[in-house]
């Protein structure tokens, strides 16, 4: 269907050739083979191991792979500490959120209490 769309006016004036998978890939089997071997994501992959605070009362309806402490449900001693626990792709680069997740995981593993919430109004004024 995408090929038919690109070949129809007015798109045909803009799309003069097919970038991928190319004119030699025609059958469904060839398209499946192309997808299996050549397809890649353009975005930073996130969200494949959803983190959530599912209730113990709703144990039969668990929807997340890891709990709020990044522990894999049903597997003792295993945590997921990467972008896969993010619920969605952040608007910016994934580097800073992953660092924050890793810092939090380090605190959890070491048994350190989370930092207390800070009130911006109580923060010292910046000297200029």
d(CA 96, CA 105): 14
Six-digit token pair at 55? Answer: 């209730």
Q: Which residues are catalytic?
A: 44
- Tell me if 86 sits within 8 A of 97, measured CB to CB: yes
- Which residue do the tokens 């207390």 mark? 116
CA-based Rg of the chain, rounded to a whole angstrom? 23
d(CA 71, CA 79): 4
- Tell me if 51 sits within 8 A of 87, measured CB to CB: yes
d(CA 104, CA 79): 12
């Amino acid at each position: 269907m995408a090929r038919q769309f690109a070949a129809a006016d007015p798109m045909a004036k803009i799309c003069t050739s097919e970038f991928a998978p190319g004119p030699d890939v025609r059958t469904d089997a060839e398209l499946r083979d192309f997808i299996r071997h050549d397809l890649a994501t353009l975005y930073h992959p996130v969200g494949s191991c959803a983190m959530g605070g599912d209730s113990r009362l709703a144990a039969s309806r668990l929807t997340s792979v890891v709990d709020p402490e990044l522990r894999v449900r049903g597997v003792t001693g295993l945590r997921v500490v990467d972008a896969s626990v993010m619920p969605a792709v952040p608007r910016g680069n994934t580097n800073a959120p992953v660092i924050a997740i890793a810092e939090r995981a380090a605190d959890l593993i070491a048994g350190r209490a989370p930092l207390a919430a800070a009130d911006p109004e109580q923060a010292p004024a910046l000297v200029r």
